[in-house]
Structure 1
């Protein structure tokens, strides 16, 4: 079995074989898609483009203890019931169509966004985090995802780059509830996931903004200062008097990793509270699909592949697989290229036919805007206008061909 581990560029050494990057190879000057590091110059080149890479252990000539720690954890698979032995799981079904749910989701996410921005601004000014306001704000979003998650998932893909901190929290909250729904967790747990997703990064409000928005590789001291956001978050939660242990675990442990390579305590496996394990996945997914100061957004399908590659390394395999089922390979809001050459955006997925979603075609085969967009249901339309098979051939990165998702009106 090929063993591939994720390694931060700061931990790279000559002799390691780099088999993958945290971004598409075409975005970098590297000619070969896979190479063995031969010098410090190679490492500097990787550092200028990547935060982390994937290293093939078998092809590497240097496997030290730090790398060994990143090996995949081998263990029996667990059922949902085994992961949540004290919960009575729910079988959710879509009770609203996309067209019906979208306006309600739009209102819910707008309310949540406004409430979160005010809570964060007040906390930044020194006030305690208003947990009561947060709890009240998440309810409409939970209702919407319970009825049909696609509308909120679409809205989670719309991000204002200059407001990354709270938009990331908003996205993580939506992904967390979507995963909780997929797992069949009861309403009270969906609420905990929603609140925890909003607040697990709240400690960053007490971190130097220059570190948060740095576009260069951080020094060891800077990285340690950034990691202090976990401790700050725990302190800020203590100030609120919040007693929800699931939410508190998300704040305290969302950077722990399944094989023990995370921080701040280096917890591993079942020692990491399960809601914190969920937080780690949604934190990672939302981050790498967002534009950040030091990295462009990754396409959803590429992000899903990254998560799949590190299952039972960084994240518990069962939860990764459930997350993939929850959001799909092409979640709502994903830009795609069709076999016809046209470019479209995914509007809604079918739970049983993930590769044949409902889409909105935006650009023609020459990548020019259409005079009027058109809706296509790939589940029922298998051919293009020339009678050729119509399929998705590629997932595009956000902003491809100058498409502004915020300008799309449904």
Structure 2
């Protein structure tokens, strides 16, 4: 008989099967909801993040039987190399720290932002897309993310909220390259992801702006006009003579969904080109974490949970999990509240310790601005001034307590 028991983490042993935690799974480093404790490292991690957990006694006592049953009933995880059979994947390591990379990232993102705005304005006026300039504009950003993604991720979070189409394209491009780096894709593919991220929504330049910013429910005819941005985008890309099939796939299929519920063709699963599957994730993530005319931005932490819940429904599970690894639960630029009551912004994400990034404290425990901001490295500083545990307790909305993120200067 299946029996679930609550047990203090101090009493855990190897071989026990953890079926539940005393906190949401996404607030821990564990990607899988349910796992067997196999190593001392597993024990240490559980004890660090949880006071108690829930143990499935049947799976704990009948390990081999439970493991065989689990393998039969769960869809096997698709390896990276299987998703990209013709690519030579690599492992990226940070070759620059935050302080070294930030000024280079600022220059790269500023160049990309001004470039894409000018290119889009020209295209909106009837000119052909300047693909040559697009290709040139993305190179410094790709260089920066290859060295260390945190600085560009910070800047993508702080992008201006006006001119949503331009800034959304910039954000999607950054997230796409960050995910490509996580996946180990070569430079040529990072370039395709960067260009595709910039251009997959370019067809919106031919859609009535009033429809794009409408704060009411659209009629079926109006909704179809908005969806036609995909057709417009394909036409605009075709007019440039660009032959990159991965970029074209991102433009054509970034609104397809894993379960077949998307458009324009209702493709499902592996029918959707892999780069379009990536585009769908970054498009959704950047959109819901940005202020739009008809919706407020949500926190990155909440957005990650939404993506996680959409695994194998809207998005391929493996790519969602890789995206979470790429940007973290609290990406650089995220406002957070600490257990001390202070409010801080995440400066650098430790991709191996996702819940303990480096943060800059902006408000004191009474939520009043500090006269001088200070940096706290949660990886090493584990207690506050009173000796109590110092942790992130929640992510905040982008404008919490009236903070203007775009005014923050490091």
Output the TM-score relative to the length of structure 1: 0.82
SS in 1 for 2:340: coil
Unaligned runs of 5+ in 2: 1-72
Instruction: For 1:336 and 1:145, locate their aligned partners in 2 and report how far apart those are by CA, in whole Å.
Output: 23
Q: CA offsets, 1:68-113, max 9 Å, x none?
A: xxxxx97432000110010000110000000000000000000000
| Matching residue of 2:80 | 80
Q: CA offsets, 1:97-146, max 9 Å, x none?
A: 00000000000000000110110000000001000000000000000000
Instruction: For 2:383 and 2:77, locate their aligned partners in 1 and report how far apart those are by CA, in whole Å.
Output: 40
SS in 1 for 2:356: strand
| Matching residue of 2:215 | 215
Deviation of 1:161 after TM superposition, in Å, equals: 2.0
SS in 1 for 2:349: strand
SS in 2 for 1:259: coil
| Matching residue of 2:8 | none
Instruction: For 1:99 and 1:160, locate their aligned partners in 2 and report how far apart those are by CA, in whole Å.
Output: 22
Instruction: For 1:192 and 1:308, locate their aligned partners in 2 and report how far apart those are by CA, in whole Å.
Output: 25
Report whether the alignment pairs 1:306 with 2:301: no
SS in 2 for 1:350: coil
Instruction: For 1:310 and 1:266, locate their aligned partners in 2 and report how far apart those are by CA, in whole Å.
Output: 17
Instruction: For 1:200 and 1:244, locate their aligned partners in 2 and report how far apart those are by CA, in whole Å.
Output: 13
Coordinate RMSD, CA, aligned: 1.0
| Matching residue of 1:165 | 165
| Matching residue of 1:99 | 99
Task: Spell out the pairing of 1:290-369 with structure 2 (5 A cutoff).
Answer: 290-369=290-369
SS in 2 for 1:359: strand
Report whether the alignment pairs 1:206 with 2:206: yes
Unaligned runs of 5+ in 1: 1-72
| Matching residue of 1:256 | 256
Instruction: For 2:222 and 2:403, locate their aligned partners in 1 and report how far apart those are by CA, in whole Å.
Output: 35
After the TM superposition, which parts of structure 1 deviate over 4 Å for at least 4 consecutive aligned residues? none
Q: CA offsets, 1:313-349, max 9 Å, x none?
A: 0000000000000000000000000000000000001
| Matching residue of 1:242 | 242
SS in 1 for 2:304: helix
Task: Spell out the pairing of 1:109-128 with structure 2 (5 A cutoff).
Answer: 109-128=109-128
Instruction: For 1:350 and 1:164, locate their aligned partners in 2 and report how far apart those are by CA, in whole Å.
Output: 29
Q: CA offsets, 1:360-406, max 9 Å, x none?
A: 00000010000100000001100001111000000001000000111
Instruction: For 2:276 and 2:75, locate their aligned partners in 1 and report how far apart those are by CA, in whole Å.
Output: 20
SS in 2 for 1:355: coil
How many residues are paired up?
Answer: 338
Deviation of 1:228 after TM superposition, in Å, equals: 0.3
Instruction: For 1:168 and 1:306, locate their aligned partners in 2 and report how far apart those are by CA, in whole Å.
Output: 19
Would you say the 8 A contact 1:176–1:193 is kept in 2? yes
Instruction: For 2:153 and 2:314, locate their aligned partners in 1 and report how far apart those are by CA, in whole Å.
Output: 24
Instruction: For 2:361 and 2:84, locate their aligned partners in 1 and report how far apart those are by CA, in whole Å.
Output: 41
Instruction: For 1:303 and 1:219, locate their aligned partners in 2 and report how far apart those are by CA, in whole Å.
Output: 27
